[in-house]
């Protein structure tokens, strides 16, 4: 009950910042529009398959979720510098409840973001299917990965620092190693190995499989993402617990 009360407060904080919400939902759609236009200008059969709408849309939904790390890191970093957090430290909330209280309000936002992106993709030729709803739910573990990363960095960095780490560095890393814009196997070597180790390309592969209705191909990649989501959430709880004890 106390954790849900804290989550409710965070929901109000998130929805109060409408500019951030609009940017988080609109920017992936802008990318979808631009890349779809580029793909249509390329003669059929000559362009990269990554830009075909059935591959592009799931990839864009995953990339759009990378902004969840910025939102979560800014929220917790801002709270850390205020008297609000000092009062919370005296409450009976445990570190895991703090982290869940920050995470839960962002999951509906992540699902709405994915759903809106798929809806926009229908305009550009994506065929409607019930599988698109499944693809939205498949994005939840990668959303948790990005949220947990934001909470992890936000627990140790200042509000200004997390803007650079989660807003620029992390979004670029997720773009380069995700197989959205280009196939990492074309680069090969260490680059491809790193991409296979990180969760981003696995999240895109799972989303594409779900959207295409290729159910058998979802979980080999989704398990990898779920593992990262669990490990990063535990890491965020652990680091936040250490910060509480030092306060």
Q: Is the pTM of this model over 0.85?
A: yes
Tokens of 179: 């197989």
231 pLDDT band (50/70/90 cuts)?
very high
Model pLDDT for residues 30-60, shown as the tens digit of each residue: 889 888 888 777 776 666 678 889 999 999 9
Q: Are the C-beta atoms of residues 116 and 60 closer than 8 Å to each other?
A: no
Query: What does the DSSP 8-state code read for residue 1?
Result: -
Give me 243's structure tokens.
Answer: 């910060």
Least Cα distance to 29 among 113, 109, 107 occurs for 113
Residues 6 or more apart whose CB falls under 8 angstroms from that of 21 comprise 14, 15, 109
SS3 43: coil
Percent residues over pLDDT 70 in the chain: 93
What range does the domain containing 81 cover? Answer: 2-246
Instruction: Take residue 72 and report the two structure tokens written for it.
Output: 């979560």
- The pLDDT, as a whole number, for residue 83 is 67
Give how many domains the chain has, as a whole number. Answer: 1
**Confidence at 247, pLDDT banded by 50, 70, 90:** low
| Residue range 158-184: mean pLDDT, rounded | 88
Structural contact between residues 51 and 39, judged by C-beta atoms closer than 8 angstroms:
yes
Per DSSP (E only), the strands in the chain are none
Residue 210: C-alpha distances to residues 58, 59, 160, 217 (Å): 9, 12, 37, 8
DSSP assignment letter at 126: P
Q: Give the residue with greater pLDDT, 222 vs 12.
A: 222
81-95, 130-144, 162-176, 202-216: least confident range: 81-95
pLDDT digits (tens, 9 = 90+) for 71-129: 899 889 888 877 666 666 667 788 899 899 999 999 999 999 999 999 999 998 999 99
């Amino acid at each position: 009950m106390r954790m849900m009360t804290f989550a409710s407060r965070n929901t109000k904080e998130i929805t109060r910042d409408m500019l951030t919400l609009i940017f988080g939902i609109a920017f992936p759609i802008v990318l979808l529009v631009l890349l779809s236009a580029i793909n249509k200008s390329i003669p059929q059969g000559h362009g990269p398959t990554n830009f075909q709408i059935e591959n592009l849309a799931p990839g864009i939904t995953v990339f759009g979720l990378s902004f969840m790390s910025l939102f979560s890191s800014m929220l917790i970093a801002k709270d850390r510098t205020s008297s609000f957090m000092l009062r919370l430290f005296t409450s009976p909330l445990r570190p895991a409840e703090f982290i869940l209280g920050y995470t839960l309000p962002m999951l509906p936002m992540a699902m709405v973001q994915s759903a809106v992106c798929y809806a926009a993709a229908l305009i550009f030729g994506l065929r409607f299917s019930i599988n698109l709803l499944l693809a939205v739910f498949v994005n939840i573990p990668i959303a948790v990965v990005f949220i947990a990363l934001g909470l992890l960095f936000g627990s140790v960095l200042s509000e200004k620092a997390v803007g650079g780490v989660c807003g620029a560095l992390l979004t670029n890393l997720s773009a380069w190693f995700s197989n959205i814009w280009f196939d990492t196997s074309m680069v090969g070597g260490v680059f491809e190995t790193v991409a296979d180790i990180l969760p981003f390309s696995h999240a895109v592969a799972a989303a594409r499989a779900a959207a295409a209705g290729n159910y058998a191909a979802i979980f080999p990649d989704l398990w990898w993402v779920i593992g990262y989501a669990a490990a990063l959430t535990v890491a965020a709880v652990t680091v936040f617990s250490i910060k509480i004890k030092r306060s």
